A and B are shown apart, each in its own frame.
Chain A
Amino acid sequence: MQCAMYMRVDQTTHQVVGVEPRYDFPVNGGRMCPKGVLAYQQINHHERILHPMVRRNGQLERATWDEALDLVASKIREIQGKYGKHAVGLYGGVSMTNEKCYIAGKFARVAVGTKNIDYNGRFCMSAAAAGAMKAVGIDRGLFNPWSDVVLADAILLAGSNTAECHPTAMAYLWEARDRGAKLIVIDPRRTPTARVADVHLQLKPGTDSALVNGLLHVLISEGLVDARFIAERTNNFESMRDLVLRDYSPEQVEPITGVPAHLIRKAARIYGMARTGMVMYARGVEQQSKGVENVTDLINLMLVTGKIGRPGCGGGTLTGQGNGQGGREHGQKADQLPGYRKIDDPAARAHVASVWGIDPAELPGAGQSAYELLESMGEARNEVKMLYLYCSNPLVSAPNTVEVEQFVANLDFLVVSDFFLSESAEKADVVLPAAVWAEDEGTTTNAEGRVIRINKAQEPLGEAKPDWWIMSEIAKRLGRGQHFSYENPREIFEELRPASAGGLADYSGITYERIEAEDGVFWPCPAGSAGTPRMFEERFAHKDGRAVFHAVAYRPAAEVPDVEFPIYLTTGRVVFHYLSGTQTRRIPFLVQQSPEPYVEVHPILAGRLGLENGGKARLQTRRGEMVLTVRVVETIRPDTVFVPYHWGKELAVNQLTNPALDPVCRMPEFKACAVRVTREA
């Protein structure tokens, strides 16, 4: 969302001491979720890492910056000398500014010279990104500004618990509903979002594409399509039509999804008959081994009805992490260079190499995706021997954490940069104290593609430093200092602008001054452009300007319930925590509201298994097992249990989840696997 707020700063200590709503910012108008209200408490938190630490005799001990940085640089050299350039990997995150994400990509390719860099967005937005690239030729999270949502007469949310995961977006939904808009929610749980829907399609986990095909079947067979739009602006309609008409009538879809046929018809008619409509989706449909297929199928809904590229028409993904959008555009991804360029495209390599002042031949090729990068550290592959981890906590957020812990243990050397000692940082050989968001300036790009600014509210605590400074210092020690001589984030942004020029995510027309003056600027924004709040008004981003339908044949989740593991397990979030909880599990109010994970069980299933509300249950999958407190709730399907994922170690539900990857985007299947549940005394 990127909710704006003001910080209260003490005039004598110059430290942040509180928060004040900022009413004049268009995205949130002062509104904040509890994580936003209390985010300032991270800044001067007593658990902040205040100085570099180096592991000596098994203990993390205080070190100077020079000691720590010299050690990191010499280890990079040593390990690359022994095992080759690509034996050093970088693993990042997108809860940091565009400037830092850009520097991370450049640091990996120019200073370290490794192809092995990827980031946690792979577990977050990669399916939405790849799906949009296939269907409309560009990955800008939401195709519309938030303000379009209030113009929609029908809103379809797929796999999004908007109320808990994007709380401040609820105001847009309610404004639409005050005008009479209808809301359709696709979710296995009756979440606070689904509770207020006109139609709730409570499907079995992992059956989304069958359900969407059912909606498409009704739209096409009942003539609720825009034939002219299909003829003039799309390709490949026929193959999609033939598939859904043949195999996905509501009656055919009902046994697959568990959703009654009449509700599928009702939802399709609401969306199809509405004058305007938006389709928005999130991790529920994306974090599957067929996330890309689900996304392309949902875009089919927009294309078949022509509800895209107009006021109140369109949709897209509700990006999760703070800078989930910007962080995936400027080279932190294994296969990308700044401006959303492909690293294997010779023209892209030549352009970026010229901005960076290097020979294109020096640029490594595409690396591997996040989970594969982690796997390559393990005993079986033994390829990546040193990992530099920043802004991420994969020991909580990666699937199958039991194995990930073994991968990390097999490393020769682990460097972690963070502002708290996360579960991953505890394992590090060198810990580098990073500045928090309020201690640095820069830009981030929100879910609607609006590039906005973060301003600095106080000096970094202790000896903490921003990640762009840390990477530049290591680069100097690797003899590449001439490419990393930045004084401040503004200089980095001024380099990012030409680096992105001509790419899909073109920022070249954006300046810090324009961002301030215009409350953010929407990309694509080539030089001289006003920016692009609404995409696809005239053409799509494929070469011929047309969007592409994809015929998506439903296939089940990689693991479905069987005799041994007879229940679906799905995972998700609670409103009080953010991602792996590194930031929110340290804020007392948030911990009081949500101290530990739990398992949601329907009363019917609870009765069958002998489980009681408040009692304990043991969950076992083919990967691992854990014991959780039971919450008996009527808001979940009787064949499914739910566990929130924000905790680490023995409380991490990702001990159980399935690392089956999407064949296109390498997204793991967090949202559906098979589990056995038993009563625990």
Chain B
Amino acid sequence: MPKVLFIDYERCIGCKSCVAACAELPSHRGKSRNYVVPLAPGVSTQTIPMTCFHCKDPACARSCPAGAISITELGTVLSADEEKCVGCRNCTLACPFGIPKFDFNENIMYKCDLCHERTSQGSAPMCASVCPAQTIQWIELDEAMTRRRAKIAAKIIGDVPVWGDDEVETRIVTMGGFGGTGVKEETHHD
């Protein structure tokens, strides 16, 4: 059973450990690839982590004229290949979530690669490793879906992952009342 990134937004305490730890992975060269945003500053202390959703049909990769964004066997949408990236920044505009960022010094796009050097070796990505509140976890897909279904059954969250007018299928399972993102139920018949 593959492991997936599972995000339970309600638990986020805004500490940005995930942001700090992301930059600590040697191959990330000091540039963090995830973000923590406040939902309603001044009204609530609620914050949420924004990581790449690793879409099944990623707009970033589709928009890349150079084929610089690869998708691994496990479905991880990698950061730009240094040799192929032409610095056009299409991906930064195409992504509906604003995840790819552009490094103007190096003239290359960078984004979350789910700590490929760790996850491809069976270890957890940095963000899920350190997250003190366990907002971000690295768990088996079955377990993630079970937890999500429990909330759907309790009518705490909706069951269709919709962003605006788009349905987006992702490989990251999320929970909480923010947009109802998540893996589409019917795509994972047990």
Distance between A571 CB and nearest chain B CB, rounded to angstroms = 17
| Contact indicator A21/B130 (Cβ below 8 Å) | yes
A631 to B42 Cα, complex, angstroms: 7
List residues of chain A with CB within 8 A of the CB of B21: 21, 32, 37
Question: How far is the CB of B112 from the nearest CB of chain A, in Å?
Answer: 17
Q: Distance in Å from the Cβ of B149 to the closest Cβ of chain A?
A: 14
Question: With A and B bound together, what is the CA distance between A171 and B132 in angstroms?
Answer: 7
B15 at the A interface (CB under 8 A): yes
Residues of B within 8 A of A631 (CB): 42
**Counting CB contacts under 8 A, is A254 at the interface?**
no
In the complex the two chains form, what is the Cα distance from A171 to B43 in whole Å?
25
Residue of B whose beta carbon sits closest to that of A167: B132
B42's partner among A32, A33, A575, A613 (CB-CB below 8 A) is A613
| B63 in the interface (beta carbon within 8 A) | no
Please measure, in the bound complex, the distance between the C-alpha atom of A635 and the C-alpha atom of B45, giving whole angstroms: 8
- In chain B, positions 1-45 with a C-beta closer than 8 Å to chain A are 10-11, 13-17, 19-21, 23-24, 26, 42-45
B46 at interface, CB cutoff 8 A: yes
Q: Indicate with 1 or 0, residue by residue over A604-632, a CB within 8 angstroms of chain B CB atoms.
A: 00000000010000000000000000011
Given contacts A32-B21, A195-B45, A589-B20, contact A170 B11 (CB under 8 A): yes
How many chain B residues have a CB neighbour from A under 8 Å?
27
Residues of B within 8 A of A170 (CB): 11, 13, 132-134
For B42, B130, B131, the residue with the greatest tally of chain A CB atoms inside 10 Å of its CB is: B130
* A19 contacts the other chain (CB 8 A): yes
A163 within 8 A of B: yes
Contact bitstring B127-163, A, C-beta under 8 A = 1, else 0: 0011111100000000000000000000000000000
**B14 in contact with A192 (CB, 8 Å):** yes
Q: Could you tell me if B15 and A633 are in contact, using CB atoms closer than 8 angstroms?
A: no
Across the interface, which residues of B come within 8 angstroms of A30, CB to CB? 124, 129-130
In the bound complex, how far is the Cα of B133 from the Cα of A426, in angstroms? 38
Given contacts A167-B15, A167-B17, A589-B20, contact A32 B10 (CB under 8 A): no
Report the nearest B residue to A164, measured CB to CB. Answer: B13
Q: Is A550 on the interface with B (CB-CB < 8 A)? A: no
A637 within 8 A of B: no
How many angstroms from the CA of A32 to the CA of B134 in the assembled complex?
A: 10
Assess A37 versus B45: contact at CB under 8 Å? Given A174-B133, A192-B14.
Answer: no
- Which A residues are in CB contact (< 8 Å) with B14? 192, 575
> Chain A 508-533, CB within 8 Å of chain B: the 1/0 string?
00000000000000000000000000
A34 CB-CB contact with B under 8 Å? yes
Q: Are B132 and A31 in contact (CB under 8 A)?
A: yes
Judging by beta carbons under 8 Å apart, are B45 and A191 in contact? yes
Tell me, rounded to whole Å, the shortest Cβ–Cβ distance linking A175 to chain B: 8
| Size of A's binding interface in residues, CB under 8 A | 37
- CB-CB under 8 A from A613, the residues of chain B are 42
- Which B residues are in CB contact (< 8 Å) with A593? 16
Whole-angstrom distance between the Cβ of B73 and the nearest chain A Cβ: 24
**Known A-B contacts A30-B130, A31-B130, A633-B42; A167 and B13 likewise in contact (beta carbons under 8 Å):** yes
A33 touches B132 (CB 8 A): yes
Residues of A within 8 A of B10 (CB): 196
Knowing A18-B26, A38-B20, say if A31 contacts B134 (CB, 8 Å): yes
Q: Which residue of A lies closest to B134 (CB)?
A: A171
B65 to chain A, nearest CB (A): 35
The answer to whether A575 and B15 touch (CB under 8 A), given A19-B24, A37-B24, is: yes
Dominant secondary structure of chain A at its interface with chain B: mixed
- Least CB separation from B13: chain A residue: A163
Within 8 Å by CB of B13, from A18, A32, A192, A634, lies A192
Residue in chain A with minimal CB distance to B26: A18
A23 with B129, Cβ < 8 A, contacts A33-B15, A163-B13 known: yes
Least distance between B55 CB and chain A CB atoms (Å): 27
Measured CA separation A36–B21 after assembly (Å): 10
A37 to B21, CA, bound (A): 6
Q: Looking at the assembled complex, report how far the CB atom of B136 sits from the nearest CB atom of chain A, in whole angstroms.
A: 11
For the complex, what is the distance from the CA of A613 to the CA of B124, rounded to whole Å? 40
A168 contacts the other chain (CB 8 A): yes
Q: Is B24 a contact partner of A575 (Cβ separation < 8 A)? A: no
A18 to B20, CA, bound (A): 12
Query: Does A190 touch B at the CB level, under 8 Å?
Result: yes
Give Cα distance in the complex from A194 to B44, angstroms.
11
- Report A245 CB to chain B, min CB distance, Å: 37
Most chain B C-beta atoms within 10 Å of own C-beta, residue among A28, A37, A38, A576: A37
Residue from A28, A163, A191, A634 within 8 A of B133 (CB atoms): A163
CA distance A138 to B43 in the complex (A): 42
A34 touches B129 (CB 8 A): no
Max chain A CB contacts within 10 Å: which of B124, B130, B132? B132
Cα–Cα distance between A43 and B46 once the two chains are bound (Å): 33
| Inter-chain contacts of B132 with A (CB < 8 A) | 28, 31-33, 167-168, 170-171
- Considering the chains assembled together, what is the distance between the CA atoms of A602 and B43 in angstroms? 10
- In angstroms, Cα B14 to Cα A167, docked, is 10
The answer on a CB contact under 8 Å between B131 and A31 is yes
Contact A32 B17 (CB under 8 A): yes
- Indicate if the CB atoms of B42 and A632 lie closer than 8 Å: yes
Q: How far is the CA of A32 from the CA of B124 in the complex (A)?
A: 14
Is B43's CB under 8 angstroms from A174's CB? no
Nearest CB on B from A648, distance (A):
23
Output the least CB separation between A516 and chain B (Å): 23
Complex alpha-carbon distance, A23 and B123, angstroms: 10
Q: Which residue of A lies closest to B128 (CB)?
A: A30
Contact, CB under 8 Å: B17 / A34: yes
Q: B24: which A residues are within 8 A, CB to CB?
A: 18-19, 37
Known contacts A21-B130, A174-B133, A34 near B44 by CB under 8 Å? no
Give the CA-CA distance A21 to B124 in the complex, in Å.
10
Interface residues of A in 544-582 (CB under 8 A from B): 575-576
Q: A36-B130, A192-B46, A576-B16 are in contact. List 17 more A-B contacts (CB 8 A).
A: A19-B24, A30-B124, A32-B130, A33-B17, A163-B15, A163-B133, A167-B132, A168-B132, A170-B132, A170-B133, A190-B44, A192-B13, A193-B13, A195-B45, A589-B23, A633-B42, A634-B42
Where the two chains meet, the residues of A that have a C-beta atom closer than 8 Å to any C-beta of B are 18-19, 21, 23, 28, 30-34, 36-38, 163-164, 167-168, 170-171, 174, 190-193, 195-196, 575-576, 589, 593, 603, 613, 631-635
Closest 5 A/B residue pairs (Cβ):
A167-B132, A163-B13, A170-B133, A21-B129, A168-B132
28 pairs, CB–CB < 8 Å, chain A vs chain B: A18-B26, A19-B24, A21-B21, A21-B126, A21-B129, A23-B124, A30-B124, A31-B129, A31-B134, A32-B17, A32-B130, A37-B20, A37-B24, A38-B20, A167-B13, A167-B17, A170-B11, A170-B134, A191-B45, A192-B45, A192-B46, A193-B13, A195-B45, A575-B13, A575-B14, A589-B19, A603-B42, A635-B44
Q: Which residues of B contact A (CB under 8 A)?
A: 10-11, 13-17, 19-21, 23-24, 26, 42-47, 124, 126, 129-134
